[in-house]
Amino acid sequence: MQTKEYSTHVYEFKVAKHFISALINDDESGLTDDEAAQLWEWEQNLPNHYHYKTKMHKVFDVSPDTGEDFTRCEVCELFADCATLTVNYV
């Protein structure tokens, strides 16, 4: 998994745009069962900053300057039109 780390708790990933709704809105209706399984596995492998005392959770955001970016998706590892997904831990 390629990550660009800006601070202790912020990461960027290239993710196929069809996965974005599932990540931000928790809406997997546009995904096949295989894609949903790939996404679940990818999420399980994200850095985990949750601690019972700090109660940090993942917050997903998409960079507003995301135009066309045909590159390898870090979820499915296939070439696709990707967005830059930021994962913040708050």
DSSP 62: E
CA distance linking residue 90 with residue 88, whole number of Å: 6
Helices (H), 26-83: 33-44
pLDDT per residue, tens digit, the chain (90 aa), is 555 544 467 889 999 999 999 999 989 999 999 999 999 999 888 877 655 555 667 788 887 766 678 999 999 999 999 999 988 877
User: How high is the pLDDT of residue 82?
Assistant: 93
Find, among 26, 13, 18, 28, the residue nearest to 81 by Cα: 18
Give the range of the structural domain holding residue 31, as residue numbers without chain letter: 4-89
3-state SS, residue 71: strand
What is the domain count for the chain? 1
pTM of full prediction above 0.85 = no
